[in-house]
Structure 1
């Protein structure tokens, strides 16, 4: 009798493992986020009527986030440096969804101009009366070898990606503490969990954000209504590559390369919005094998270092050879186009 029960339990466990393995092979996000997307609270329930301030909203992930939040019925504060692009995003929100003109505020913002951040925050609060969610999405990436890169590039990355985000958070968080609720969401990167060759400064700025918000979260245990959410996408189609820093601050990237292997912006934001609707503290968003890689980094760091050296070496070799450094590791590389 006992042997029969053990046999049944064994086969049941084996089936569960195989099912989970099958799900993981096809996954494009971590298990917690998969659960929230499938079974959690829907965005149009959790986010309808909420005031969401998005930085970096003039293109890429920030623009798509504005559209999907508008579809869920959220009211929006759209910020970036390019006011004309923000007006375009606002107009699209109004034409495609049920929002009215008063539901979307265009608020031009320069993350580097930290002296202006208190005034910008007050403007958002005067307009809507409250801020329910801040999405720190603004920032730039990097392409270049450390030995060839000016220190000024590293300073610019930290000023923009790290200190700019901290500065806006510094202005919004006291308001959320007073109202007793809110979400501070920051678009980090898998590069903030595991360093990426050719993006040493970008990785450093994202590691800094991870460390800052992971330290801030326990400081807010007295305000349980506030959620600190870290969003860590892998390769995603967006404008961040086109706008990347190179070896010199004033030198632009000659070519963004082939991005067809990357996750679509729409799918990435679908997962982000599902996680935000369910107040997840951290989200890993990526196709395989990059999702597997971050799990290996989390649970088997020795193996992760071996893989990092192998794959990172290939990435650097391709870059030096004038090939697309950002192309998939496991496909034939394509030469850069001019």
Structure 2
């Protein structure tokens, strides 16, 4: 769950924060109008995975944002006592200002007479960036927004479908399938080309959807595999192609070695030195995923930064000795 920012004025969430839900649910502890993220997968392949995408470049979803958090009655029931108790911590002018805004308003304490007509909005922290100083930048005190109205224009980082799409990006889980090596990774030999492939039954598009039910907005972010970069785990190797970048083709990435095939594989590696002296090489096939999103009033897919994910696997390369008579 996404804990709200704790305010000295008594608007912080009380009690221990719960653990994140298995399905990636993001919500404020006391919010009835929560921000929810549900991880889904597309196609007929089984489920998603447990790996997170690493965005390409210096990019990350927002560290904090504002969204509906309390009904008027919830605010009155859970915040009034805390505000009164803590108000002596502040100077008289500040305490009086808070009292005027939240307790002696036109609609009673915390707008209770408008309970079904809007929400108090508050700050949320991104749980993946709790140690980031940027998560403390959402310092606006809770503010009221009537249903159907836009939040104040001068407040940045109010929740939108685009921000939801960025939050959903973090909730995407990538399958942790390993590359298929032929010959098998315990039968590799020096100077014999190794064919590398990744089956599209494992590396299929995956997506996550984020929504704010109270606002009726949502966004779906989808990642699609487009290629793989081969890292042999040693400089004593040659990749195929030379760039080490294998594109996505029919049936997946790379190609399984046909029976009796010789020559250079379309995607693969040739090891030039045995691993017997150093131990297994940490081979890794890192898949690049193109990411895009659609959402409320935004039906045309829009790109987000691509992401990468790779699962390392140890390979043993042997040297075959030939006898000349």
Query: Do they superpose with TM above 0.5?
Result: no
TM, length-normalised to structure 1: 0.24
Larger Rg: 2
Structure with the higher helix share, 1 or 2 = 1
TM, length-normalised to structure 2: 0.25
Structure with the higher strand share, 1 or 2 = 2
